[in-house]
Structure 1
Amino acid sequence: MKQLPRRLMLLGIVCLMSLFVFPMWQIILYAPQYPDGVEMHIYIDKIGGSSPGTLQNVNILNHYVGMQYIEPDDIPELQYFPYIIGAMGLLGLIALAINKKWGYLSWTIVLVVLGILGMYDFYLWEYDYGHNLSDTAPIKIPGASFQPPLIGRKQIINFIADSWPHIGGIGFGLSMFFGSAAWWSRKKQLSK
């Protein structure tokens, strides 16, 4: 029982590091011509999909309504996210080593703040992506917005867009849970 806070913190770090392996987010587009959906995966350092041509297919669809092409190399967040997650992993190891309740709490608070800022940044990117349309688009629908949902499901013309956390995103959420649990269990130990 004495090692419980450290074990919980270690679980939190492992869950956070899952972002280096699994996508953090997925957007799936369903339409009559895509009954199985076009599944786009967003990692901390790249954008891909369930098949090799996913990003190309999404960009072709975007072209018709004047949406911007998705160019992963032009998205600065994909360049620096790995460093932020790596730094948080290192800070988590420091919190684990010192085994202080304030260390666990501080790590968890920073992680929550990063999660909120990340979601806000993602919303801004989606807003620009869905509203900043080219005037030379082959298909023009006055007043239409093609912004995918931040989270959940949304009808966009003849498409249904689903936007949900993927395995890495769930791991991120679990890391906040385990960090909080480590803080709570250490606090409980010290109050005895």
Structure 2
Amino acid sequence: MKKAGILMILGPLFLLGLYVFPLWNIMLGAPQYPDPLGLNIHINGLRGVSEFDIQNIDGLNHYIGMHTLPKAEEMWEFGTFPMVIGIMVGIGVLIGVLGYLGKVNYKWFLGWFLLMSILGILGMYDFNEWLVDYGTNLDPNAIMKLTNPDGSPMTYKPPLLGHVKMLNFDVTSLPSTGAWLMFMGMMLTLVAAFMGWKSTKNQN
């Protein structure tokens, strides 16, 4: 159980990478932009991949009526997510230490993994809802008012995951370094739960 406990301590620590690296990345490429415009989504705010990317994205969005990208203080998520991650790291490490000392069993490891998975799914749902609002809640007084072939207003929701063509832009949305570190950390806790279960089984 000691090896399982060590893994359970290490796993949540990988989530600390979310305070340094972006969670998600959205890239916009078009013929008039040899260097694609990029947006990094961090748990505490939005940042451009290059210096003027946010300014340029906001400039393009203005023409089609999309809102400017929100600042950190304009979205409650950017204040809440860092606290949630910090709490989950603390709980996970504590469970790992208690597991190492033989005070809790593998079910606690699995419980942390399931709770973190639920929080991750809720976070993705919230992110997608923001993308829907961002891409469909357009200014009726926009300079350019484009419509679909059926006459309905065109919307510009970026994909949650993958690639889509919007006008002459190729938009790609993918997990970034922080998300992969979180995934690796969660997988370590799952391995810890399996090792703890196996250790318990062998003792019976």
The gaps in structure 1 that reach 5 residues or longer are: none
- The number of aligned residues is 191
**TM-aligned CA deviation for residue 5 of structure 1:** 1.1
What SS is found at the alignment partner of 1:90? helix
Once the 2 structures are TM-superposed, how far is the Cα of residue 55 of structure 1 from its aligned partner? Answer: 1.4
Paired amino acid for 2:5: R
Question: Hey, what does 1:105 align to over in structure 2?
Answer: 110
1:170 to 170, 180, 190: 180
The CA RMSD measured in Å over matched residues stands at 1.1
Structure number with greater Rg is: 2
Q: After the TM superposition, which segments of 4 or more aligned residues of structure 1 sit over 4 Å from their partners?
A: none
Match of 1:189 among 180, 194, 199: 199
Structure 1 equivalent of residue 171 of structure 2: 161
CA distance in 2, matches of 1:112, 1:24: 15
One-letter code aligned to 2:45: K
Q: How many Å separate the matches in 2 of 1:52 and 1:33? A: 18
Deviation at 1:120, TM superposition (A): 0.4
Cα offsets for 1:9-63 (capped at 9, x unmatched): 2331122111011000000000111132111101010110222222111111111
Match of 2:68?
69
Query: 2:51 — aligned with what?
Result: 52
Gaps of 5+ in 2: 100-104, 148-152
Percent identity over the alignment is 36
Are 2:102 and 1:92 aligned?
no
Which moves more between the two structures, 24-33 or 10-19? 10-19
Residue 13 of structure 1 aligns with which residue? 12
TM-score for both structures, normalised by structure 2: 0.90
Which region of structure 1 is more displaced relative to structure 2, 4-13 or 24-33? 4-13
**Which moves more between the two structures, 60-69 or 2-11?**
2-11
| 2-11 or 135-144, larger mean C-alpha shift | 2-11
* 2:64–2:138 Cα contact (<8 Å) kept: yes
